[in-house]
Amino acid sequence: MTDLTRQAFDQARWLDHGCVGLEHFLLALLAEPSAATEALAELHLTYDRFVNYIRNQVGNPGWPSPRYDPEMGLTGPNPAGHQLMSCVEGFAAAWRHRSPAPERWLLPMVYADNMVASELDHFGVSP
């Protein structure tokens, strides 16, 4: 499990979400300084702005994350989270990197047909 994956799990628990989705991976990415974080900050997308947005979405119809149950723990990544992890790990293996850099997480997040791309639209950020 990569550091960013662990951080995504931590973000989900911190927000009381029952599974780890793409939004948690983006929060984990935004939480630590990197070239990806700097690029997103230039587009006015920061950790604080995105976490506030996520908090306001919980409870809205169609919000995909179930509530966290401490007795059951996290159910793990949802299908989109698994797909993202596989894509990133595949890129890392192809480039013979042991651990993918944050920038290698950002590209699959914004170009995949997924929730993160649509959430980024809310902030005026396009792929």
CB 21, CB 65: distance < 8 Å: yes
Task: Tell me the two tokens of residue 10.
Answer: 């931590």
CB 76, CB 22: distance < 8 Å: no
Q: Is 67 helix (H, G, I), strand (E, B) or coil?
A: strand
Question: Cα separation of 88 and 101, whole Å?
Answer: 9
Choose the weakest-confidence range: 26-30, 54-58, 105-109. 54-58
pLDDT in tens, 46-94: 999 999 988 887 655 455 566 666 666 677 888 888 888 888 888 888 8
Q: Which CATH number covers residue 25?
A: 1.10.1780.10
Residue 127 lies in a domain: no
Q: What is the pLDDT of residue 27?
A: 94
Mean pLDDT of the chain: 81
**Predicted structure pTM score:** 0.84
Residue 42 lies in a domain: yes
Domain total for the chain? 1
Residue numbers of the domain that contains 115: 3-122
